[in-house]
Amino acid sequence: MTTFSDLGLIEPLLRALTTEGYTTPTPIQTQAIPLLLQGRDMLGIAQTGTGKTAAFALPILQRLDANRVKAAPRNPRALILTPTRELAVQINEGFSTYGKHLGFKRAVIYGGVGQGPQVSALNAGVDILVATPGRLLDLMNQRHINLQNVEFLVLDEADRMLDMGFIRDVKVIVSKIVVPRQTLLFSATMPEAIMSLAKGILKNYERIEVTPQSTTVERIAQRVMFVAREDKRRLLTDLLNDKAVTRALVFTRTKHAANRVAEHLAKSGVSADAIHGNKSQNARQRSLDAFKSGKARVLVATDIAARGIDVDGISHVINFELPTDPESYVHRIGRTARAGTSGAAISFCDADEVGDLRSIERATRQTIEVDTTHAFHAAHIATRSERSGGPRPQNRPSGNRPSQGDRNSRNSRGGKGGGRPWENRSKAA
């Protein structure tokens, strides 16, 4: 078994990893770190949860340490571009954790907050800069930052930057960086526009691919629950009454739905918060911090807001509303079962979402198991899915599965017996 010490990392990095309890590198770390230590450009195709932040942060820190120079004002040596504010903060935290014994100066810049503290940090000099494209371009145009000394460039989650309309900004930023440099591009998917960008900025690069897009994580126990739209909130409350759901990420399609669901859960006695684009950056960070610390057991999120969420220990992902894009489904459920642990993904499907469910199953090449044991099972929707070529309901042992009449009775909820089918029973290896 490969260990971090086998990858050629220096002692201060190994000491930091040991302190955090990391001993065994993930596949992308095993493949990427030796190549990046050699100075090679790289195209990494990897979903979230594969350990890609450490895969690029560790070799960048080691190469910076091999050529120590004083951090110059407004001239970073390493630039990491990322699509969202939350992801920028987390990558910056990763560099802080891994480089705690090396003493490099860092800064993270993003929009939605005042630029004054960010400008001050740049003026003081930073070795490593993590940034979102929009705010970085603004500061470049104001001459607060110069990229002529950038030696290491990372484009993280390039496909999401494309989705969010940042690719033009990215191209402008990259054009200001003088070669030679070491360039890394990471993307969960490889649409034509991203492949074209990669070929334009990478030189003699290595391609590394882990967890292909069409394959969902095998450690995730996936279930679909057919339910009428008006019963979804009560079903969600029922699920969250189970203590096995220790930390849950709930997805909605819209910002308004996220707010409504979070408010409903709070009124039901479930500690929950919402995160989406209409919230200020400070409010979003407070919600994320509450979720990380366990103060909020549930975080309700939209797809774009959740893109940067990298939180360990998420036991369950719940699709309160199914995404229309199968790729979003893969990204959503990948928030659980990270770093070798197991997890559960539960999807609610109402009458209008049957087509979305079929699209997801075709794209992932899997038939998602149907849970008929919950108190709000909508047999007519399940039957419609079956007629449409979707998954066939699977009756599973459940002790006391309620009848149709029982399901309409408030007293039937919670009397399922025999254990809950969505329970995440297996623990981290």
pLDDT recorded at residue 414: 36
Question: Length of the chain in residues, anyone?
Answer: 429
List the 42-45 sheet strands across, edge first. 106-109, 128-131, 78-81, 152-155, 182-187, 42-45, 206-209
pLDDT recorded at residue 163: 80
List the 369-370 sheet strands across, edge first. 272-275, 298-301, 248-251, 316-319, 343-349, 220-226, 369-370
Percent of the chain, pLDDT > 70?
Answer: 86
Whole-number Cα distances in Å, 336 to 84, 161, 287: 20, 23, 18
DSSP letters, 312-374, are TT--EEEESS--SSHHHHHHHHTTSS-TT--EEEEEEE-GGGHHHHHHHHHHHT-PPEEB--S
Whose structure tokens read 């292909």? 212
pLDDT recorded at residue 54: 94
Q: pLDDT category, 91, cuts 50, 70, 90? A: very high
**Any idea what DSSP says for residue 179?**
S
pLDDT in tens, 225-235: 999 999 999 99
Alpha carbon dihedral 152, 158, 162, 165, in 10-degree steps, equals -50
Q: Taking 80 as the threshold, does the pLDDT of residue 418 lie above it? A: no
pLDDT recorded at residue 307: 64
Task: Share the mean pLDDT of the chain.
Answer: 85
pLDDT recorded at residue 351: 94
Residues contacting residue 68 through CB under 8 Å, at least 6 positions apart? none
- Token pair for 212: 């292909």
Q: pLDDT category, 340, cuts 50, 70, 90? A: low
Q: Which of 387, 384, 357, 353 is nearest to 369 (CA)?
A: 357
pTM above 0.85, yes or no: no
CA atoms lying within 13 Å on the CB side of residue 118: 21
pLDDT recorded at residue 130: 98
What letter represents residue 360's amino acid?
I
**Domains recognised in the chain with CATH numbers:** 4-209 (3.40.50.300), 220-412 (3.40.50.300)
Of the two residues 305 and 115, the one the predictor is more confident about is 115
pLDDT in tens, 128-181: 999 999 999 999 999 999 999 999 999 999 988 988 889 999 999 999 998 789
Residues contacting residue 66 through CB under 8 Å, at least 6 positions apart? none
Residue 180 preceded by cis peptide, ω within 30:
yes
pLDDT recorded at residue 363: 78
Q: pLDDT category, 410, cuts 50, 70, 90? A: very low
pLDDT recorded at residue 179: 72
Q: Taking 70 as the threshold, does the pLDDT of residue 388 lie above it? A: no
Ranking 62-66, 157-161, 171-175, 346-350 by mean pLDDT, the lowest is 157-161
